Amino acid sequence: MATPFGMATSFGAMITPFRLPLAPPLDMDITPKLILSVVGAAVWDRACVPPSRPSRPDQTRASERQLSLHEKVMALPVLPYWVRFAHWAFVATEAAALWEGRPQTFTLYSAAGTGLIILGASIRIRCFRELGRHFTLAMTLRDDHSLVTTGPYGVVRHPAYTGGLLQLLGALIANLGPGSWFANGGSATLWGKFLAVNLGVCAAVFGYACTRGAKEDRYLAKTFGETWERFAKNVPYRYIPGVC
């Protein structure tokens, strides 16, 4: 019966658990890649969960009547867990493959991808600290909300989106690029295809979320008036300094 690393030929093969040896091959040093993957996954995990979810009594929604379907999806409590799973599932599978001694290499793609994840996650975590309990996945403002212009918000107007895009780009490179489990046979498995599609959908959902920047700008301008106008003049770019 095939394992998840081989071509699945039956339902039984699809659900066969990993059967790991008691120890990795002695001639294979899995430490660098494994440590890098786990560190990247840890910061990814931290950056996917905002500090708090606002309760209805003390929040004001951008749309008083009805949220768009996409806004409703972004507000789903399950969303952070899905995004965390999208990357952690790859990392766990990669770790299992490394432990079994399956051929993989530590490449510049692995390092660059994880580096982008750490950079993007660091930006988002700093945004969490700047906004505190005001940071939410849904487009909302609390009643006592004030315009934050410090930290990464003094560089671009929507740095959390910038950080998230860097994270997703890093995850795509690290998990699907040369040297990864996926590139070394995992793409031929049903599990590998599922993980790739899941990560791709996750990237598409968040990528579309970044288009909310213009809508958020309009809402903030309406809410904060002249304070917003001064802020927008001092920080003219939404996502990338000097670009967009």
What residue spans define the domains of the chain?
A: 29-234
- Residue range 29-234 forms a domain whose CATH class is mainly alpha
- pLDDT value, residue 122: 94
Q: Contact at 8 Å (CB) between 94 and 185?
A: no
**180/183 Cα distance (integer angstroms):** 5
Per-residue pLDDT tens over the stretch 120-161: 999 988 988 887 666 665 566 666 667 888 889 899 998 988
- pLDDT value, residue 107: 78
What's the whole-model pTM score?
A: 0.75
Closest Cα to residue 104, out of 114, 112, 94, 113? 94
Closest Cα to residue 110, out of 46, 45, 48, 41? 41
The residue ranges of the chain whose pLDDT is under 50 are: 1-28, 54, 57-58, 62-66
- pLDDT value, residue 69: 56
- pLDDT value, residue 16: 38
Q: Contact at 8 Å (CB) between 232 and 224?
A: no
* Residue at 132: amino acid letter: G
